[in-house]
Amino acid sequence: MPSKKWRADPQRQPSGHIKDACCEYSDVNRINDQISPLLQDLVKTSFFRYYKVNLEKGCPFWKENHRCYSIDCAVATVDESEVAEQLKTVAISKADFSTAGDNGFGLFHRDCEFSENDFCVVEENDVRSEGVYVNLLLNPERFTGYAGESAARIWNALYKENCFPLDDSGSRQLTSDHQRSWDDTCTEKRVLYRLISGLHASISTHICDKYLDGKTGIWYRNLDCFLDRVGRFPERVENLYFTYAVLLRAVTKLSPYLKTYSWCAGVEGDKGKIKSLVRDIVKVTKSCPPAFDETQLFANSSSDAIKEEFKMHFRNISRIMDCDGCEKCRLWGKLQISGLGTALKILFSFGNKVSSYHLTRSELVALINGFARVSNSLSAVARFRAMTQQEALAAPLDAIDGKEKSDEWTQSTIVTSGTTQSADNGGPK
């Protein structure tokens, strides 16, 4: 294969302080090594694997044909009879910290798409709400083959429709030059951009980590896909770490109440397992200083107006997910945006007043699954980095120009499927 000029060295692991956060890249890697296995086990339990979602709301912004003809776009739903009653009743689907003090969760009910404290449209989880039950384990987030104008429109809308600048080529993520100019804007707007960019990088990483070879039907890790979408863009990897730091801080802030919650479960033995896993996760989160300082946002005289604008943008983002033409992409997009929105709600809507905390079961499921997804992405980045290093070692020396040894090498042959488009030109999901 012809040698490629690399814009950045994908072998390089980020180091130093994470901008806009309160920790270093090494801190996140260390914590994730401990917490990732716990999260992956937790999301397999009955409380966290069943999620009720409305996939038929329709796109509120443009006419969208929700038809992806790939079988991998389809979501496998489950009959309500499979879901334990205690997981879907009105009472247990709401969690309210206000009646519990320091002793755990109470109950909360919601009658609209979002309340004043919400940063996104919330998927309901009781028997009265519209939607279908999904076993998330049977619908893994991975490559679906969904591509083209419809796929590109989603991410363009997430950035462009929410006042994010594009470069001259219409790139949906900022180049380094535009990133530097974006760094000069107010913290709140920069944080919103970095969260969406980090989620974008995370989702792209999931797709490349579980990529389908259309000819052989084999799922594999597609290194070229990762490099084109994420690996060659250090700012995207950095934003992925930042998004992790924000989610970690939200879970840490919530941890005193998570460990005292009387978890309901639909499978015998799950309740004890959930308590044990949550206790271990809380122990890890409490072992490190805060990864993100939420008090630095919305702290000036115009903070109320900025906060409302921030909420409006994020609610808008959650609605855009209903425009995704791929059903499985729509499922995971809605869940992960809801997870981020729940994290923001924890950090910015209640302060430190326990009596004000209100979350639904759906929000808890989205928060933990969203955190697990970003956690898995960081692990996948490390795997891709190792693959890149192996490729570099295998490269023939005579294929490397002496003046560009640090920038370029000949890649050894790896299995690829079709054409891998970059994240900037509407690549497949």
Residues forming the active site: 326, 329
Q: Which residue bears the tokens 């990864």? A: 291
Element spanning 250, H or E: helix 234-258
Given a contact cutoff of 8 angstroms between Cβ atoms, the answer to whether 123 and 108 are in contact is no
Alpha-carbon separation of residue 389 from 69, 204, 245, 261 (angstroms): 37, 20, 26, 44
Alpha-carbon separation of residue 228 from 10, 164, 231, 233 (angstroms): 11, 22, 7, 8
Indicate the residue type of 256.
P
What is the CB neighbour count within 10 angstroms for residue 149?
9
Give the bridge partners for 409, in sequence order.
Answer: 4
Cα 324–Cα 370–Cα 348 angle in degrees, nearest 5: 100
Residue 301 exposed, middle or buried by CB count within 10 Å (0-12, 13-18, 19+): exposed
